[in-house]
Structure formats: structure tokens, C-alpha cells
Chains A and B, each alone.
Chain A
Amino acid sequence: MDEIRKTTKIQELTYELKIKDVMSENIETVSSKMPISSLRDILYKKRISGIPIVNDNKLVGIISIEDFIKCLEQGEMDALIEDKMTKNIKTLYADEPLVHAVMKFEKYGFGRFPIISRKDKKLVGIITKSDIIKGVLKKLETAYHDEEERRYRASHIFNDIVADEVFLKFQYYVEGKNFDRAGEAATGLKKTLYRLGLSPEIVRRAAISTYEAEINIVAFTEGGEIIAYIDPHQIKIIITDKGPGIPDVKKAMEPGFSTAPGWVRELGFGAGMGLSNIKKFTDKMTLRSTVEKGTHLEIIIKLSDYRNED
């Protein structure tokens, strides 16, 4: 399972990274009119295995260390590069995703590909398999570093703070009747809880319950607020509004019971599932409502495994 996951992450990176992110830019080039012997110094001193051949800024071929050795064996060191180089060259654009390079290496079995710019077709770099490996490793290292930092910033907060009781409070204001902004509180809280290092399942349960409650505020009231309290043992979310209140709380809790107006139903809600969904995803739910005064909903999600995560 872990193996599959890692492969996927690396595959993901090959789509994220562009060829220009990993290619070598300081490239040695040689003119095709030079003799093979002139390659000796460059190949030896720069420790490279292939050189693009460029005439008047135009890429015309590529010559590899294998070509050089062949000429050496056959005593053809005075031959011109243009007679020995590979002319039918396969190139890649600098702005292509790295995965294209990976695929071309697999397809052709070459050791390197010259990279050209899409705009003027000029040579801008060269890519070898080792450039790909280095590029992916570097990106992984950065991602790992960010992850380490994120974990430190957030999930250790309860251990780092010295107090008899610690809780964090996050407050969100919800505008009534504005469906374009509905969901901002729930998605904001979701992001926050995730950054705190809570397990994805806990975060999901809290986000879904908050979202349903937020939809209720938007659909039925003139506005309200959502306050989440997080301590090492539980998430407590209190959702309040200033009316109109629910006349029959017991009836409102029945799955399928709805008083939602048509415009709410058109938006994909109002099927009488909101409160039962909240109940389903939380460990404790308390709903109090007074007609004309407002509704007070309190939900609790337990974090029994929070401390074990370290």
C-alpha cells in the first residue's frame, strides 16, 4: 500500500514539474564543422556524455560519448562532427510536463534530449535521466520540509502550550440568504482543523456537520455565527442564529421533514436531511430553539485518538 502511494506521489510530481524546472541550462555546444577530436576536452573536462551540435544558433544534431569512442576505435578522430552526429534528433519543449520526458526516455532509450523553447525553437537546455531523478528528489525534499514545518506549527500546539486547560476558538460569521457565500465557514473550518493535524476522518465529520448547519442558517435565518472550540479531547461547535426559530424541534429532527422554500431546494438542499446528517456525523448533538428568538445548536466530535498521533 505504501509502495503504491509513493509511486503515485512521484508520478504526481512528474506532472507538476516542468522540463525547464529540472533540465541543465549551462550547456556546452559545438559547431558541426569541428573535427571529432575537438570533443575530447569537453567530454573529459565537463564529464558529460553528450553534446548538442549548434550552427548559427540552430540545433542541427547531437553527438554522444559513444559516437566519440566509436571514432576513436576506428581512427576517425579527424572526421567532421557533421558526418558522425545523429541528425534526426528528438527534442522536447521546455514548458512540457516532466512526464513527457520520462515517456520519451522509455520510448527511445536515448541518454539525453535537447530542450528547445516553444517560441523560437532555440536550444535552451539538455535533460538526462539523472536530471529527472535530481529534480524529483529536490521537489520531494521541499514538500517533506513543508510538511515537517506544518506539522510542527500546528499539531504540537497542545503539547507546547503549558496550561491546565487549553482550547482553541475559531469563530465564523454567516450571512443569511446569501447562497453564494454559504459554505465559506465550513470550508474555512475544515482547512483550519486539517492544519491542526487532526485525522482526515475527524475533519470530514466536523466539516460536513458544520456545512449542513451553515446551509440552515443561510436558508432560514437572517444570519448567525459558528464558533468551534477545540481542546485535546474534543471539537465542540456551537451554531447560533437570531431567529425565526424552530416551532417543533422533534419534528424538525425527523429525516425527510422540511420547511425549506423552493429556492433552497433548487440549490440542492432542503430535503429534510440536514439535521439528521449532523446527528449522523457527530458524537453528541443538542438543539434548542425558541420561536422568534433563535436557534442554538451544539455538536461534539470526540478526539479520543488525538494524542496518540504523535
Chain B
Amino acid sequence: MKLIEIQELLEAEVLTGKYDPEKEIQIGCSSDLMSEILAFGKPGSILLTSLKNIQVINTANVADIKAVCFVMGKIPDENIINLAKKNDIVVLITKLTTFESCGRLYKNGLKSCSYFNLDK
């Protein structure tokens, strides 16, 4: 799924400036527990979370997650956005709930991280 499609489906706003709307995101994951993302997140995926702190971006960075969407209208602070920009991570915000955000993406074909082998 293209990043621009994700943005449209989630009625989301991009906070990290210019980005490639054609960027392919194949897998989605969602949790407010960063250790779960570290354990099961896949490289190149999008993370949806209602947790809002700088460790979300550090988690995305070390786990090679390319985009983070803060749900339920949570607006990240400037230092979160700056760290994301520095590490080439696209940050989006949506007013939708976690459930509805995941549901819309899943219904439209975005795969879950559990589709893939969980070995190292």
C-alpha cells in the first residue's frame, strides 16, 4: 500500500514535511507497548500507536519502521518530530481510534506483521 493511500484512509496529516507519497508500506503493526513492537514489528512497516513520547521514535528507528501514526488526535511534541525527521521516519496523526485506524488499513489490504515468520 502506498503511503499516500494510508494517509487518505486514515484522514491523516503528515507532520514531518516532504515525503514520498509513493513509498510502499506493506505491513502494519499497532501497540502501546514498545517491547511488543520491538519483538514483532517488521522492517519497513507502519506503526500505529496512542503512546506519545520520544521512545516511540527510538523504537521505530531501531526496528527499521518507516512510518509512525499517532492515533486518537494525539499531537507529538516538536522534539519527537525532529527526531523522526533526523531518522527519516514519516510521522502522521489521525483523529481516528486505534481500532478504526487498524481496521481501515487491514480492510484495504495492509498486512499484519504476524503474516510473516517470527524467527530472527
Contact = CB atoms under 8 A, between A and B. Distances in A.
Contact of B54 (A180, A211, A273, A277): A180
Interface string B50-74: 0101111011011110000000000
B11 interface: no
Interface residues of A, number: 32
B55 A271 contact: no
Contact of A200 (B22, B34, B43, B49): B43
A187 B64 CA distance: 11
Given A200-B64, A204-B62, A204-B63, A268 B32 contact: yes
A187 B62 contact: yes
**Listed residue (B38, B49, B87) with the most chain A CB atoms within 10 angstroms of its CB:** B38
Contacts of B39: 273, 276-277, 280
B35 A273 contact: yes
B18 interface: yes
A276 B63 CA distance: 16
Given A11-B20, A205-B120, A268-B51, A211 B36 contact: no
B33 interface: yes
A208 B54 CA distance: 16
A183 B58 CA distance: 6
Given A205-B120, A268-B32, A182 B38 contact: no
28 contacts: A11-B22, A182-B55, A183-B54, A186-B62, A187-B61, A187-B62, A200-B43, A200-B64, A201-B43, A207-B63, A208-B63, A210-B62, A211-B59, A211-B62, A212-B38, A215-B55, A267-B51, A268-B32, A268-B34, A268-B49, A268-B51, A268-B55, A269-B33, A269-B55, A271-B36, A273-B39, A276-B39, A277-B35
Interface of B: 18-20, 22-24, 32-36, 38-39, 43, 49, 51, 53-56, 58-59, 61-64, 87, 120
